[in-house]
A and B are shown apart, each in its own frame.
Chain A
């Protein structure tokens, strides 16, 4: 037996054994057995001294080659074992990703507040101030200054909660217009404002009536403000809220504080203007009231009605929300049923 044959045998044996290894421990044992200080290759090397000097370099080279070969096989096997171990671990960690996530509390905005915020943003973008007035008003601002003197038939249109004969729950947010008109210095520029808030009517609550609801009223007063400007402004608002495809039309109406007064209709969203139950077959839905500010309103607020004029409008966010989302009972807005509130984001 030559050393060469021995080494070849060791090599073959090593290759076989390494192949069969299934654990890190076995691999370590093999490493000691073949490459360790007392391992077979070291043993074989020791025998080189017994060889003729001329054969020694070749034998040394061969044993180094065998050692390197086995070493690299062991390293390779080590990596294989590590990969297999990780794979097993990852398999063990498998989860059902279709299980639901943990619950975290989520709050929802109120749909009416959302609409009010939307209207505010539209008008802020057009350079309007947002002014909120008191909910408990003086009769003077709520009625008299709005061209609704005592005994005016239109007062019947607005049943009122009185606190005293002069103090009442505002029936509209327009008293804030009167309050602002009184103070505004027109030499410093036009008045462009909206006034959002809650209003009250002495009404019995039912699906279409609520003793409390919301309004956003707006007014623009300057030298040359026209009915055409009113049309354009309202069209802009409705376009931003409901999209481009809906049309708008004006119809004559009556409000004591405007003259001319108009009711504004929009294409029925429910049927796209074809006619349905919601629009009573007309294809149109009444969305707001507006008009050119009555000269008496300006006069009573101390504004020169020859020099200045403008338009005013009033929108009902409750009504808009009902139209936009198909809500059929106005009382739903005030019951705060979570099954209702959480439907809107």
Chain B
């Protein structure tokens, strides 16, 4: 909400600059988005008077004006506005002036005729189109006749006022009016409040009830009152009133509508004025709309209504959207003479829902959503009626017509100084607290240990003791609250075992050369289910913003492939990324998915980039497998890890993919991304893995125990063989390990060969075995026997040829 600093100074003694005041409000009440002046950035704009107007010889739409801008100073200005009129005071941009958009005005020739400046319309001096009165939309603006020639124009148009833009939180609806801000500032500045709001008495003899009747159910409007004002003369408002409105960001319309808006700004009570003669049946009632009904609102939009909408209706149908906007058909026009003014308190829930549904957020709906001062409805209505007598020469009828009047009372809240100090950490004396409440205008009745605080209706959002603690804290000042640390019984802070595993996982992956990626949990339906080894039902958003982020992911790999694609499209070819995060699995019967922590890694291009000393080896299965093995080794798992070939995961290479098993559990996948999938992501050959960290976290760990280092020499033997190429390394190692006996310390595959030098369909494998006995020197003979056993087994099991 825009609020003029100068308006505030009419009610308060303010020794602060507008910026300082803004800061004060921000520190004590609500955020202040900006403090601005409409004149900011403008230069050399002065009052002029048009002395003569002559048609431009070569351009019919242009006029050559002689404009006086001071005693004896006349500028010739060529102007295209249709409304140039001799004798009118106008806004003159002199040569060297700055107008809206930081545009500079220079001496110029227009179609051969000298023009020393510009005559300005309101939008040309920075007025937003939305606040320019309709009558000034298509021409230059006329200043008051008594404006002094050569004066700067700003003061005449209120452009020298400082405007504070308050960002009002939902709990501070009271700050959406001058009255509320004045009361709040009075408390902040510790000043007494003088806020004159006594309505002028109605001059009419008749009662409002003679011309109108009203009905409103309490659940739709807790307050609903009407007052009639007769024989108004609808015209433009006086300039002072127009300035008040446009400086609050509201467009002046006519004196009647302007008065309703002015009272809303001043007192916080939204009002609406109907043309009484257009109300069918002389009755207004608040009701829910029917789904067959329609209403054209003041903005010209035809709205299809339903029973979620609350309307004001006459005998013929809806005439206004309650709390949002009036209807076109019953609006006040230049011809209107009889007025009915409406002041109400509409349900904040209904208003909010309607504003959302209709996409219509108005000054009125903003206030009704946050609530209004229900104790001030009648007064505001009377005040507006009184102003219409003064400004629109109307005659207000006596009294109001009450459609609904729910009793309103001040709230009494009991607090104790002890508790206030306990919550805030302060040591305020009861009398200091009492003083702070009084600054807010709250009455306080002290008892032995308590304070009974009477909260006026203008602070309707204060209901609980905690609400009052906040009032004390902010008026006392957050800066004055001490700075301490909690004193409690000792608590131990530490990460859980699983949290430690996640951290260790991230460190290890980074140590292995992977950078940490964080991708979106919401993805497309297609990507959500890729690379998945667990069956799961999709979890979709009801109203996604886009199909790109509509379904919860069941894997991390797809996100990493998106990342690789992004990088490779931007010339970064070697990408190694990992992600550790949640994936979401669900069965048809579950509404909420199960959330699991997963780890995934992806390498595309080379692990290390090439330079003069490093050849960029393209990543392969075994490179990635080595990294996965390193990671798994770092977890010190007790169970055996096995890699089992699989061709069932559609998005992975059917012959370069393995399931990762820990003991008897499937814990992950490793393999090459299927070439067709790589193509669809526009990425180079890429190797990926994904592991279920939940299972790894729960898996038993090895007990670490020191093994004495053998003082006896170990014995090394090699076994080389030719076997059928379908015989896997895992099978061969299993046989070797089985037959080697307890002294086998390590087994290393040191050579694999397939090619011209050996028969087709065969490959050559060579293993190095190291034996040792920590208790004694090993005898060659024993080892020879073991090797004999191993080779015999290899021959019988795999028809191996030992070399």
B-contacting residues of A (Cβ < 8 Å)? 99-110, 112-113, 117, 120, 123-130, 132, 134-136, 138, 151, 153-154, 156-157, 161-164, 166-167, 169, 189-190, 192, 198, 200, 202-204, 211-212, 220, 222, 224-229, 231-233, 235-236, 249-254, 259-263, 280, 282, 292, 294-295, 309, 333-339, 341-342
Of chain A, the residue at the smallest CB distance from B577 is A336
Q: B564-587 CB contact bits vs A (8 Å, 1 = yes)?
A: 001100101001111001101000
| Least Cβ–Cβ distance between B466 and chain A, in angstroms | 4
| Least Cβ–Cβ distance between B41 and chain A, in angstroms | 15
Which of A107, A127, A211, A229 meets B522, CB within 8 Å?
A211
Task: Find out whether the CB atom of A124 lies under 8 angstroms from the CB atom of B495.
Answer: yes
Task: Find out whether the CB atom of A113 lies under 8 angstroms from the CB atom of B518.
Answer: yes
Task: Find out whether the CB atom of B491 lies under 8 angstroms from the CB atom of A254.
Answer: no
Which of A124, A136, A161, A167 meets B493, CB within 8 Å?
A124
Which of A212, A227, A236 meets B520, CB within 8 Å?
A212
The verdict on B640 contacting chain A, using a C-beta distance below 8 Å, is: no
| Complex A-B, nearest 3 residue pairs according to Cβ-Cβ distance, in ascending order | A228-B425, A105-B513, A226-B425
Query: In chain B between 667 and 716, which residues have their CB closer than 8 angstroms to a CB of chain A?
Result: none
Q: B431-455 CB contact bits vs A (8 Å, 1 = yes)?
A: 0000000000000000000000000
Task: Find out whether the CB atom of A334 lies under 8 angstroms from the CB atom of B486.
Answer: no
Task: Find out whether the CB atom of B521 lies under 8 angstroms from the CB atom of A107.
Answer: no
Task: Find out whether the CB atom of B484 lies under 8 angstroms from the CB atom of A228.
Answer: yes
For the complex, give the distance between the alpha carbons of A228 and B609 in Å. 54
**Of B124-132, B539-547, B731-739, the one touching chain A:** B539-547
**Of B86-94, B142-150, B285-293, B503-511, the one touching chain A:** B503-511
Q: Which residues of A contact B575 (CB under 8 A)?
A: 338
Q: Which residues of A contact B484 (CB under 8 A)?
A: 226, 228-229, 231-232
Which of B490, B516, B517, B542 meets A127, CB within 8 Å?
B490
Task: Find out whether the CB atom of A336 lies under 8 angstroms from the CB atom of B29.
Answer: no
Task: Find out whether the CB atom of A163 lies under 8 angstroms from the CB atom of B542.
Answer: yes
Q: Which residues of B contact A334 (CB under 8 A)?
A: 518-520
The verdict on B767 contacting chain A, using a C-beta distance below 8 Å, is: no
| Least Cβ–Cβ distance between B579 and chain A, in angstroms | 8
For the complex, give the distance between the alpha carbons of A66 and B577 in Å. 78
Which of B31, B490, B566, B613 meets A101, CB within 8 Å?
B613
Q: Which residues of B contact A190 (CB under 8 A)?
A: 486, 488-489, 491
Q: Which residues of B contact A129 (CB under 8 A)?
A: 491, 493-494
**Chain B interface residue bracket vs A:** 35 or more
Q: Which residues of B contact A338 (CB under 8 A)?
A: 515, 567, 572, 575, 577
Known: A259-B470, A338-B572. A254 touches B515 (CB 8 A): no
User: Considering residues A120, A202, A335, which has the most beta carbons from chain B within 10 angstroms of its beta carbon?
Assistant: A335
For the complex, give the distance between the alpha carbons of A309 and B488 in Å. 12
- A sample of 19 inter-chain contacts (CB < 8 A) reads A105-B576, A112-B518, A129-B494, A132-B499, A162-B543, A163-B541, A163-B591, A169-B521, A198-B582, A222-B488, A226-B424, A229-B425, A231-B481, A232-B485, A254-B169, A254-B172, A260-B474, A309-B422, A334-B520
Task: Find out whether the CB atom of A107 lies under 8 angstroms from the CB atom of B519.
Answer: no
Task: Find out whether the CB atom of A198 lies under 8 angstroms from the CB atom of B521.
Answer: yes
| Least Cβ–Cβ distance between B351 and chain A, in angstroms | 10
Task: Find out whether the CB atom of A261 lies under 8 angstroms from the CB atom of B424.
Answer: no
Which of B23, B171, B510, B541 meets A108, CB within 8 Å?
B510
For the complex, give the distance between the alpha carbons of A203 and B490 in Å. 42
Task: Find out whether the CB atom of B592 lies under 8 angstroms from the CB atom of A134.
Answer: yes
For the complex, give the distance between the alpha carbons of A113 and B466 in Å. 36
The verdict on B752 contacting chain A, using a C-beta distance below 8 Å, is: no
The verdict on B533 contacting chain A, using a C-beta distance below 8 Å, is: no
Task: Find out whether the CB atom of B495 lies under 8 angstroms from the CB atom of A120.
Answer: yes
User: Considering residues B423, B521, B567, which has the most beta carbons from chain A within 10 angstroms of its beta carbon?
Assistant: B423
For the complex, give the distance between the alpha carbons of A123 and B485 in Å. 12
Known: A103-B614, A117-B503. A203 touches B545 (CB 8 A): yes
Query: In chain B between 752 and 788, which residues have their CB closer than 8 angstroms to a CB of chain A?
Result: none
Q: Which residues of B contact A138 (CB under 8 A)?
A: 592
Of chain A, the residue at the smallest CB distance from B559 is A336
| Least Cβ–Cβ distance between A124 and chain B, in angstroms | 4
Q: Which residues of B contact A132 (CB under 8 A)?
A: 499
| Least Cβ–Cβ distance between A192 and chain B, in angstroms | 5
For the complex, give the distance between the alpha carbons of A302 and B563 in Å. 45
Q: Which residues of B contact A136 (CB under 8 A)?
A: 539, 552, 584, 592-593, 595
Task: Find out whether the CB atom of A109 lies under 8 angstroms from the CB atom of B541.
Answer: no
Which of B349, B423, B478, B570 meets A249, CB within 8 Å?
B478
Task: Find out whether the CB atom of B464 lies under 8 angstroms from the CB atom of A259.
Answer: yes
Task: Find out whether the CB atom of A156 lies under 8 angstroms from the CB atom of B491.
Answer: no
Which of A103, A110, A167, A339 meets B572, CB within 8 Å?
A339
For the complex, give the distance between the alpha carbons of A232 and B581 in Å. 33
Known: A128-B493, A192-B491, A260-B469. A103 touches B486 (CB 8 A): no
